[in-house]
Structure 1
C-alpha cells in the first residue's frame, strides 16, 4: 500500500500541491500535518507510523516534508528499513524499494556522518588550541572556593537539611552534590 504524508509549516500555507502529487503517485491514504518541521511531535506522522505495515511504501512530496535534518531522515530510514517499509520521495526521485534508491539514500547518510566527524575534529582542534593558550572553557563556577567549602562543611555537619543548605547558598541539589563529590576526591588525593 502507498501511504502519503504531507506537511505544511503554517496554517496560511496550502497542502493542495502535495495532495495532488501524492494522489497522482497512487497513494491510497494521505495524512497531513500543519506544523513546523522543527516540532518533534507531529500527530499525522505518528498516525502514519502506526498504520504502516511490512511491504508498504511511505510516499512524501519532498524529503524535507518528512524530516528537517539529515539525522531525522536517517533515523526515519533506519526505522522504515527495519520494519520492511520503503520510502519514496517524489521530487528527489528516491525510491528505497530499489537498489539504486537505497544506494542514493546511504550516500546521503555517509556524507552526513562524514560532516559530523569533520565538525567533531574541528571542535577538538579548537579546544586543544584554546587549552594551549591557557583557556579552560566551561561555565564559570557560581561560587568561589570559600563558599563551596562552606556548603560542603554544612552538608558534612548534618545540622541542616539539603534543601536548607541549597536555599542558603543559592544552589541546586545537583550542584551541592557535585561540590561534595569534588571535595571528597580532593581529600582522597591529598
Structure 2
C-alpha cells in the first residue's frame, strides 16, 4: 500500500492569510500530496478539515504539520489526535521541531513537548486570574458589561418607537429574554 503524505494547516482567523500561505509552502516543500487547511481557532469545538484529514489518513501514511500549536491547544487534545493516528498506523511529523513519531525518540519528545505546552498555558491562565483579582482588589477591574445590558437604552427607544420584541431581537442581535429584561428594568 503506497504511503500518502498528508498535510494539515490552520490559522486562527481569516485575516491570517500570510501565516496560512507560509504553512502551505512548508507542507508542499515537505512533500505533502494531500493538504487540508482551515482558518478558525483551535478552541472551536468543530474543526471540520482536521476531522476530514484524520478520516482520510490510512495505515502507513504520514501526517505532517508545521508547528504543534497548529494541531492542538491542550495535552488532552494532542493525546486524542495522537491516539487516533496511532490506531490507524499513521505517523506524525512536526516540521519546526523535527519530530517524527515513527521513532521512539519522536514519541517521547511529542509527549514531553505537549506536557510543557499545557503547563505553560496553565501558568499563563493562572497569572491572568491573579492579575484580574489584583485589579479587582484595587478597584481597577470592573469586567465588561453584558452586551444586552449595554443595549438597554436602544431596546427602550425601539419599543417606544413601536417595534415588537421580535423586531428588536433581530435589529439589535440580542435574545428575546434580554429584550424583556431591559424593558422590565425600566
TM-score bin, normalised by smaller chain:
0.5 to 0.7
C-alpha deviation, 1:82, in angstroms:
1.5
Determine helix, strand or coil for the equivalent of 1:91. Answer: helix
Q: Is the counterpart of residue 63 in structure 1 residue 61 in structure 2?
A: no
Matched, 1:9 2:12: yes
Q: CA deviation at 1:55?
A: 0.6
User: When the two structures are superposed, what TM-score results if normalisation uses the length of structure 2?
Assistant: 0.57
Quote the offset at 1:76 in angstroms: 0.9
TM-score normalised by length of structure 1: 0.56
Name the structure 1 match of 2:42: 37
CA positional deviation for 1:114: 9.5
Distance 1:23 1:113, change over 3 A: closer
Partner of 2:101: 96
Give unpaired runs (5+ residues) of structure 1.
116-190
* 2:6–2:32 CA contact under 8 A, matched in 1: yes
CA distance in 2, matches of 1:97, 1:48: 19
Residue 81 of structure 1: aligned partner: 86
Taking the TM superposition and a 5 Å limit, the aligned residue runs for 1:12-161 are 12-14=15-17, 15-108=20-113
Query: Greater Rg, structure 1 or structure 2?
Result: 1
- Tell me by how many angstroms 1:90 deviates: 0.5
In the aligned structure 2, how far is the partner of 1:29 from the partner of 1:112?
28
Contact in 1 for aligned 2:67/2:96 (Cα 8 Å) = yes
State the number of aligned residues.
Answer: 115
Q: Deviations over 1:115-154 (max 9, x none)?
A: 9xxxxxxxxxxxxxxxxxxxxxxxxxxxxxxxxxxxxxxx
